[in-house]
Structure 1
Amino acid sequence: MTNAVDLQALAAQIAGKLTGPGGPFEITVESVLGAPIPVFRERRRNLLEILDASKELGDRDYLVAGENRYTFARHHEAAGALAAALAQRYGIGKGDRVGILAANGPEWVLTFWAAQRLGAIPVGYNAWWAPREISYGLEHTQPVVVVADAKRAEALAETGTRIPVLTMDHDLPTLVAEYTGEYPETALSEEDPACILYTSGTTGRPKGVVHSHRNMVAVSDYHRFTDAFAAGFRGLPWDGSPTDRRFLISSPLFHIASLHNLVIPRIVTGDAVIFPSGGFEADKILRLIESERITNWGAVPTMASRLLDEDLSRYDLSSLAAFSLNAAPSSPALQQRLRERLPVAQVALTTSYGCTESGTAATVATPMELLANPETVGRAIVGVSIEVRDPEGKVVPDGTEGEICVRSPYVMLGYWNDEAATKAAIDENRWLRTGDFGFLREGRLQMAGRRSDLILRGGENVYPTEIENALDEHPAVQESAVIGVPHEDLGQEVAAIVVVTDPESLTADELRDHVAQRLAYFKVPARWLITSDALPRNATGKVLRRELSLGE
């Protein structure tokens, strides 16, 4: 305990030096959209400033996809040329939307940055959407053009849209070659919209989350701060010079984990982003870590779990220095299995909590915190304030469950063309109501679940995450999901869908006893489905609960 306290005190001391008066990340409070928000005093004011500064990084790798490699200098030139083409060929200017509908790849990123040169707003459409969903997105944000890969260009054709579609494999290289040497510029303010990403849509229609230049520059500065903090913790100097880190990108670019928190910060820190080819395959990813000497990887829990199906001793994973679990909750049992099998997880496993609306992680749990309390998602990151509130909006005492509310310079402007939804999500003091439930204890946040996932059983509140964590401790369980199903007397009762390799090898009674030994009686599922079929998930790894049923 003494060591933990000492380390916490050391962390506070280092953070204080960095963010205090005269520090490289000095924090001051400014009025942001009418609310007092802590911001970094020294900061760039828009993404275009960040893009132009990246030219100085020259021949260092920025985007790597096999033989398709963009150095920072090549990327800067190509983004300028594409911006000129979009402006001169399609009349795109400040405030216009540029749709991006594609799987991950360097050209996705190139399109994003080209839009920033024009003050246009790139819209990251979900690459998994069906034509009907694509039509909704096009109607909702009305892009002037859509940049797409070959597969999604076909899906766009099925919608019957008349919006011009530029293909990544043919149109973009042609336009870049034609307009090379041009670098249009646009005057931008911090509160101008910088991009639109859609919410996961696990319930209802997805909403378009608008992030400002302030939001996205602040996220990049947060990543610079973490680099400086880590150096200080190791007793090393930090001057912001580029390192030789290589980040594996395995979550979609239409999600904040990959766009806001990976691709954009790397253009500031001078690190490389490595793209796998095709869909996720554990063997292919592990070989890529070997060949590209990957140093950093943020994986969704499902991907991390699949790694454990491989013989990890067959791969050279010695380059991997940082490993995090992102985008969806991870069970303590999975964390422990990773520590036992994946060397980096023993010393560098972290997890976090955030949502599309929050712009980046609101909290991060350090390896030590996670080891001591596997269910925590950590403490608020620099610049973030967190409150847990009751249904009337009052802050609840430490240890009491309520709705998690977040305020920071990273929080979205609002929802695109949806004033009512924006007002419901963000109050007059710029506090974001996340819709997630949890509690704070001594500054650490622990999740309970989402309001929409809550099961009301006979007057008792039951959160699926707690039961799923208990189920995942069973050695035969690969993954699980808990839902509420209608019940005549109780209103709802608890049901569990459990994925195992061989459904004949496990009975509902065994699982019922397993949960009953760990949780209160009313949390023990009354109905069961044991299956070998994987749970339905969205592109960011979250379970699509609306698609779950017991198949009865």
Structure 2
Amino acid sequence: MTQPLDLQAMAAAAIARLTGPGGQFEMVVEEVLGAPIPVMKHRGRSLADVLEASIALGDRDYLITEDRRMSYTEHADAVGALARALRDRYGVGKGDRIGILAANTVEWVVAFWAAQCLGAIAVGYNAWWVPREIAYGLDHTRPSVLIVDAKRAAQVVELDIQLPVLTMEHDLPALIAEFDDGELPRTPVAEDDPAVILYTSGTSGRPKGAVHTQRNLLAVIEYHRFNDALAAAFQGRTDDGSPKGRRFLLTSPLFHIASLHNLVIPRMVTGDTTVIHQGSFDPDRVLRLVERERITNWGAMPTMASRMLDTDLSDYDLSSLMSFSLNSAPSSAALQQRLRDQLPVAKTALVTSYGLTECSTAATLAAPAELAAFPDTVGRPVIGVSIEIRDAQGNAVAEGIEGEICVRSPYVMLGYWEDEAATAAAITPDRWLRTGDIGVLEHGRLRLSGRRSDLILRGGENVYPTEIEQCLEEHPAVRECAVIGVPDADLGQQVAALVVVDEDTATNENELLEFTKQRLAYFKVPARWRITTTALPRNATGKVVRAGLEI
């Protein structure tokens, strides 16, 4: 048990050298939105600067799919052309929203960076939403233009929307060709100006738009650069920031922070390559991609990792992998050990983390040795993050005491788009984020002991029962209902619904299934049902008592 402690001491010494006075990543405390926040002294100030600097990376591959390759130069050219088109033809300017509704594509990334050139706000809508949910998102953030792929274009046709809709397959290539000549647009921005909105499932029944600023995303970039420097320090080297030839596999949606904030955006500075998997997760296709593109780094959801381990890994050449992480959902000790037993890179390089959309990136990270010694940990706070465990009254508790996890850092979102009440409930006046998750700190390590109230984690996707319950209650036969998560070996949890009706013949499972399929993204549709005429149990205040519900 001494090895993790020795490594921790080494890490502490290296961090002190890197972040102390005169260090490459010197940390200082500055006032950010009225609160004292630790920030890096020598930091970038705008994402447009990051894009412009990337041109120097020239012909290095930035983005790769199964059938396309885009260099840094080609990417910057496409971004500049699209930004000029959006500005000159559609009048998009600073603070306007550019909606992006699509599966993982090169154009998704180009559209994001085009927004940054204009000081506009990229809005990443959930590509799995059905038309009703899409309509809500468009009404909520009111984009000036909406950029879609062909599949979502067909869904948008069903809606009565009055804004330009640009397809990735036809409109964007035509605009990029038409506006291919000119300078890269630049619009002055402040550090705390919004850069992107990503939607997170809402406890009140509607998705909320988490607003991430220029500061947030630039801090995420520096966090990744710092990790590179720390890794080099462990090897007795100094990291000069030059490209290392790494190839990162992207398997999560671009409308998630795991892919956009923590993969696509930082690579713009580290000069590495992002290889984008497209389509549903298929272990054989993904492993062939790892083999063909010589992937070095992969962050996977636990569900993906579990499905991968059900295949014979000896059929693939995975020798290029240098790093493997479990992201987006808790992972069991059993899964971690299976990975170490079957995936060579996991024996020495398996990590996990804890974070949420509102944090922009990981709040904690568990290094390989510490995760092996303490498989239930999600690690220690990352650079710039402060964590407190607080009681129901908002008071910090001592180590070893369970309570709500609260986070403060330069990564914490600005707030929820046009929702002052939700923002005030989530972020204190001194910029502490109330995560709603329950955990405990033990010797500096965070351990999760509960999830946000009633949250269902299905295959890495957050599902809140309230939204599904409100949908079901629109059905004329449903008197009341309760939605809970039930264990599932593959997905972690499945969605289950207990529906109360007046008469046994009022409706049936198939009818309710079709009803929800038409109104909710597929991952929110209950997989298990129980229809009853017995009223739901409630407490003294009238709230449904979910504990003990059987479905």
The TM-score bracket by the shorter chain reads: 0.7 to 0.9
> Kindly tell me: are residues 191 and 245 of structure 1, through their superposed partners in 2, closer, same or farther at Cα, counting changes over 3 Å?
same
Structure-2 residue corresponding to 1:458: none
Tell me how far 1:315 sits from its aligned partner.
0.3
Query: Using the alignment, how far apart are the partners of 1:451 and 1:61 within structure 2?
Result: 40
CA deviations over 1:58-106 (Å, ceiling 9, x no partner): 0000011123211001111110110000001100000000000000011
Return the letter of the residue paired with 2:244: T
CA contact (8 A) 1:354 1:362 kept: yes
Return the letter of the residue paired with 1:21: P
2:269 corresponds to 1:268: yes
> Kindly tell me: are residues 200 and 542 of structure 1, through their superposed partners in 2, closer, same or farther at Cα, counting changes over 3 Å?
farther
Structure-2 residue corresponding to 1:5: 5
Q: What is the DSSP-based 3-state SS (H/G/I as helix, E as strand, rest coil) of the residue aligned with 2:319?
A: coil
CA contact (8 A) 2:307 2:490 kept: no
Structure-1 residue corresponding to 2:281: 280
What are the within-5 Å matches in structure 2 for residues 325-474 of structure 1? 325-453=326-454
Structure 1 length as normaliser, TM-score? 0.84
> Kindly tell me: are residues 101 and 497 of structure 1, through their superposed partners in 2, closer, same or farther at Cα, counting changes over 3 Å?
same
Return the letter of the residue paired with 2:266: P
In the alignment of these two chains, the number of paired residues is 483
Return the letter of the residue paired with 1:181: D
Structure-2 residue corresponding to 1:256: 257
2:230 corresponds to 1:235: no
CA deviations over 1:242-297 (Å, ceiling 9, x no partner): 11000000001101000100000000100000012321100000000000000000
Structure-2 residue corresponding to 1:125: 125
Return the letter of the residue paired with 2:425: A
Structure-2 residue corresponding to 1:35: 35
Tell me how far 1:400 sits from its aligned partner.
1.1
Tell me how far 1:158 sits from its aligned partner.
1.1
> Kindly tell me: are residues 409 and 547 of structure 1, through their superposed partners in 2, closer, same or farther at Cα, counting changes over 3 Å?
farther
Structure-2 residue corresponding to 1:67: 67
Query: Using the alignment, how far apart are the partners of 1:355 and 1:134 within structure 2?
Result: 22
Query: Using the alignment, how far apart are the partners of 1:434 and 1:544 within structure 2?
Result: 22
Return the letter of the residue paired with 2:429: E
CA contact (8 A) 1:203 1:546 kept: no
CA contact (8 A) 2:378 2:448 kept: yes
CA contact (8 A) 1:290 1:317 kept: yes
Q: What is the DSSP-based 3-state SS (H/G/I as helix, E as strand, rest coil) of the residue aligned with 2:412?
A: coil
Query: Using the alignment, how far apart are the partners of 1:324 and 1:71 within structure 2?
Result: 26
Mean Cα deviation higher: 443-452 or 306-315: 443-452
Structure-1 residue corresponding to 2:110: 110
CA deviations over 1:102-159 (Å, ceiling 9, x no partner): 0001110000000100000000000000000000000000001100000001111112
Structure-1 residue corresponding to 2:53: 53
Tell me how far 1:442 sits from its aligned partner.
0.8
Query: Using the alignment, how far apart are the partners of 1:239 and 1:104 within structure 2?
Result: 32
Tell me how far 1:545 sits from its aligned partner.
9.6
Query: Using the alignment, how far apart are the partners of 2:373 and 2:57 within structure 1?
Result: 40
Structure 2 length as normaliser, TM-score? 0.84
Query: Using the alignment, how far apart are the partners of 1:496 and 1:107 within structure 2?
Result: 37
Tell me how far 1:203 sits from its aligned partner.
6.6
Structure-2 residue corresponding to 1:304: 305
CA contact (8 A) 1:19 1:27 kept: yes
Return the letter of the residue paired with 2:59: D
Q: What is the DSSP-based 3-state SS (H/G/I as helix, E as strand, rest coil) of the residue aligned with 1:133?
A: helix
Query: Using the alignment, how far apart are the partners of 2:528 and 2:61 within structure 1?
Result: 43
Structure-2 residue corresponding to 1:190: 191
Return the letter of the residue paired with 1:147: I
2:244 corresponds to 1:216: no
Query: Using the alignment, how far apart are the partners of 1:402 and 1:285 within structure 2?
Result: 39
Structure-1 residue corresponding to 2:159: 159
Gaps of 5+ in 2: 466-481, 492-515, 532-550
CA contact (8 A) 2:101 2:147 kept: yes
CA deviations over 1:414-437 (Å, ceiling 9, x no partner): 000001110111001100000111
Return the letter of the residue paired with 1:99: G
Tell me how far 1:232 sits from its aligned partner.
0.5
Query: Using the alignment, how far apart are the partners of 1:179 and 1:276 within structure 2?
Result: 29
Query: Using the alignment, how far apart are the partners of 1:427 and 1:547 within structure 2?
Result: 37
Tell me how far 1:160 sits from its aligned partner.
2.1
Q: What is the DSSP-based 3-state SS (H/G/I as helix, E as strand, rest coil) of the residue aligned with 2:157?
A: helix
Tell me how far 1:495 sits from its aligned partner.
8.8
Query: Using the alignment, how far apart are the partners of 1:542 and 1:135 within structure 2?
Result: 17
> Kindly tell me: are residues 223 and 326 of structure 1, through their superposed partners in 2, closer, same or farther at Cα, counting changes over 3 Å?
same
Q: What is the DSSP-based 3-state SS (H/G/I as helix, E as strand, rest coil) of the residue aligned with 1:158?
A: coil
Query: Using the alignment, how far apart are the partners of 1:21 and 1:261 within structure 2?
Result: 27
Q: What is the DSSP-based 3-state SS (H/G/I as helix, E as strand, rest coil) of the residue aligned with 1:90?
A: coil
Structure-2 residue corresponding to 1:528: none
Tell me how far 1:234 sits from its aligned partner.
1.2
Structure-1 residue corresponding to 2:513: none
Return the letter of the residue paired with 2:359: S
> Kindly tell me: are residues 216 and 497 of structure 1, through their superposed partners in 2, closer, same or farther at Cα, counting changes over 3 Å?
closer
Tell me how far 1:7 sits from its aligned partner.
1.4
Query: Using the alignment, how far apart are the partners of 2:323 and 2:158 within structure 1?
Result: 42
Query: Using the alignment, how far apart are the partners of 1:206 and 1:189 within structure 2?
Result: 27
Q: What is the DSSP-based 3-state SS (H/G/I as helix, E as strand, rest coil) of the residue aligned with 1:55?
A: helix
> Kindly tell me: are residues 8 and 543 of structure 1, through their superposed partners in 2, closer, same or farther at Cα, counting changes over 3 Å?
farther
What are the within-5 Å matches in structure 2 for residues 488-527 of structure 1? 496-499=486-489
Mean Cα deviation higher: 176-185 or 427-436: 176-185
Structure-2 residue corresponding to 1:23: 23
Q: What is the DSSP-based 3-state SS (H/G/I as helix, E as strand, rest coil) of the residue aligned with 1:197?
A: strand
Return the letter of the residue paired with 1:81: A
Tell me how far 1:498 sits from its aligned partner.
4.6
CA contact (8 A) 1:247 1:273 kept: yes
> Kindly tell me: are residues 161 and 304 of structure 1, through their superposed partners in 2, closer, same or farther at Cα, counting changes over 3 Å?
same
Structure-2 residue corresponding to 1:246: 247
CA contact (8 A) 2:45 2:191 kept: yes
Query: Using the alignment, how far apart are the partners of 2:215 and 2:252 within structure 1?
Result: 24
Q: What is the DSSP-based 3-state SS (H/G/I as helix, E as strand, rest coil) of the residue aligned with 2:89?
A: helix
CA contact (8 A) 2:4 2:373 kept: no
Return the letter of the residue paired with 1:252: P
> Kindly tell me: are residues 429 and 11 of structure 1, through their superposed partners in 2, closer, same or farther at Cα, counting changes over 3 Å?
same
Structure-2 residue corresponding to 1:226: 227
Query: Using the alignment, how far apart are the partners of 1:67 and 1:253 within structure 2?
Result: 18
Return the letter of the residue paired with 1:65: T
Mean Cα deviation higher: 58-67 or 315-324: 58-67
Tell me how far 1:237 sits from its aligned partner.
2.3
2:174 corresponds to 1:174: yes
> Kindly tell me: are residues 134 and 59 of structure 1, through their superposed partners in 2, closer, same or farther at Cα, counting changes over 3 Å?
same
Q: What is the DSSP-based 3-state SS (H/G/I as helix, E as strand, rest coil) of the residue aligned with 1:452?
A: coil
Query: Using the alignment, how far apart are the partners of 1:268 and 1:495 within structure 2?
Result: 40
Query: Using the alignment, how far apart are the partners of 2:109 and 2:489 within structure 1?
Result: 36
Q: What is the DSSP-based 3-state SS (H/G/I as helix, E as strand, rest coil) of the residue aligned with 1:204?
A: coil
